[in-house]
Amino acid sequence: MPRTENICALCGSSWGNVWRTVGGRRLFFCCKVCEREYLATLKEIKKRTGWKKLEAVRFEGGRRGRRCVAKSGEKSYTLMASYDRAGRIQFASEAESDL
């Protein structure tokens, strides 16, 4: 999971002041859009995999498209997603897991 200090859990920015508890951890987000993208991506991965809990997540990319690798136990799943301006997923597909 991302660090919980004042570094955005999604994009790595250090400005802003949005805090959210996710999976029992308090995470910092620079803005509501990053928070929405993060939560929407986790929700989509859980929906596609049937996993109840994600033990680790790693994001790569930017606002126009992100690759997220999620792990639960020994399993991993990679999702490619693009978002609208409000942080909602516009398109998502399974991707090769090479992060």
pLDDT of residue 97: 62
C-alpha 86/C-alpha 17 separation (Å) is: 17
H or E element: which one contains 19?
strand 18-22
Amino acid at 95: A
pLDDT in tens, the chain (99 residues): 555 578 999 999 999 999 999 988 999 999 999 999 999 999 999 999 999 999 999 999 987 889 999 999 999 999 999 999 999 999 999 987 654
pTM score: 0.88
Residues 44 and 79: beta-carbon distance below 8 Å: yes
Place of tokens 């509501």: 32
pLDDT of residue 22: 93
Residue of 94, 66, 70 whose CA lies nearest to 81: 66
